[in-house]
Structure 1
């Protein structure tokens, strides 16, 4: 029984170290040697638990998603609140992961080496939620639910990832509570203009 607990503890330590390494350096910049060092294990032990770097990143993302507080991530019923809600979730729970996704814009990744299937499921659920709200008459019929999801993703991610641009345009950093409050209010105003027309 002690061996099983030790194995689980070791695996958990590797996944935590992998998350830190991948989120800090991206997929291509991450090194198995660095992950081993962060986890306090040797490199060979990582390959005992994970067959490849691709398997490790996929399991790292899966583990990260499982650790999110699911009760707090249910989409609001009112579409006007979605952008503000997603912005808050991104700040409180997803910021490090979003930084990892920014690496994808500059890295060439092996196919499905970024938890793509799991992430697609989450993002498609946003489309489905928007489609259902549209059928309920809460979202204008002429707006494509997937394009609305993409727009909301852009508005709630971009200011956080491109902090220098945010600072140069607004004079505030994304971590500044004043910016967060102003941007949240702006998201609500924009959303009211879009969704109150339904």
Structure 2
């Protein structure tokens, strides 16, 4: 029983170290040696638990996403509040993961090793949620639900990831609580103009 507990503890330590390494350096920059050092284990032990880097990154992302409380992925009933809600979740829970997604833009990553299936499922659920809100008359018919999801993702991720550009444009970054508040209010105002106000009070 003790051996099983130790094995679970070791595996967890490796996944935690892998998360830090991948999220900081991206897929290409991450090294198994560095993960072993962070986890304070022998490099060979990592290969005992995981076939290699590809399996390790998949399981790291899966572990990270499944550890998020479900409330963070359940969108508000009123579409006016979705952008604000997603900004809050990104700021409080997804900062490091979103940095990893920025690495993906420049990394050469083998197919299906970045938790794509699970991530796609979550993002597609946002599309479905928007579609059902559209059927309820809360979202204008002429707007494509998938494009709304893409727009909301951009508005709630870009200022957080690209703080230098955000500062050059506005003089502020999302590190400042006042600017966080200002951006959240702006997102709400924009959302009120996009969605059917008469149906979303």
Same fold (TM over 0.5): yes
Q: Does 1:6 align with 2:6?
A: yes
Structure 1 counterpart of 2:135: 135
Range moving further from structure 2, 70-79 or 48-57: 70-79
Structure 2 counterpart of 1:155: 155
Structure 2 counterpart of 1:66: 66
SS in 2 for 1:142: coil
Structure 1 counterpart of 2:23: 23
| Matched length | 198
Q: Does 1:186 align with 2:186?
A: yes
Counterpart CA distance in 2 for 1:164 and 1:60 is: 28
Counterpart CA distance in 2 for 1:28 and 1:63 is: 20
Describe the superposition over 1:27-58 as per-residue Cα deviations: whole angstroms up to 9, x where unpaired: 00000000000000011100110101110000
Describe the superposition over 1:52-75 as per-residue Cα deviations: whole angstroms up to 9, x where unpaired: 111000000000011112134321
Range moving further from structure 2, 84-93 or 70-79: 70-79
Alpha carbon RMSD of aligned pairs, Å? 0.9
Structure 1 counterpart of 2:165: 165
Q: Extract unaligned runs of 5+ from structure 1.
A: none
Q: Extract unaligned runs of 5+ from structure 2.
A: none
Query: What is the CA-CA distance between 1:173 and the residue it aligns to?
Result: 1.5
Structure 1 counterpart of 2:105: 105
Counterpart CA distance in 2 for 1:72 and 1:42 is: 35
SS in 1 for 2:137: coil
Range moving further from structure 2, 63-72 or 27-36: 63-72
Query: What is the CA-CA distance between 1:196 and the residue it aligns to?
Result: 2.3
Describe the superposition over 1:137-173 as per-residue Cα deviations: whole angstroms up to 9, x where unpaired: 0000000000000000000000000000111111112
Counterpart CA distance in 2 for 1:185 and 1:71 is: 22
SS in 1 for 2:114: coil
Structure 2 counterpart of 1:118: 118
Counterpart CA distance in 2 for 1:179 and 1:78 is: 24
SS in 2 for 1:102: helix
Q: Structure 1 residue runs of 4+, over 4 Å off? A: none
Query: What is the CA-CA distance between 1:21 and the residue it aligns to?
Result: 0.1
Query: What is the CA-CA distance between 1:6 and the residue it aligns to?
Result: 0.1
Counterpart CA distance in 2 for 1:147 and 1:173 is: 26
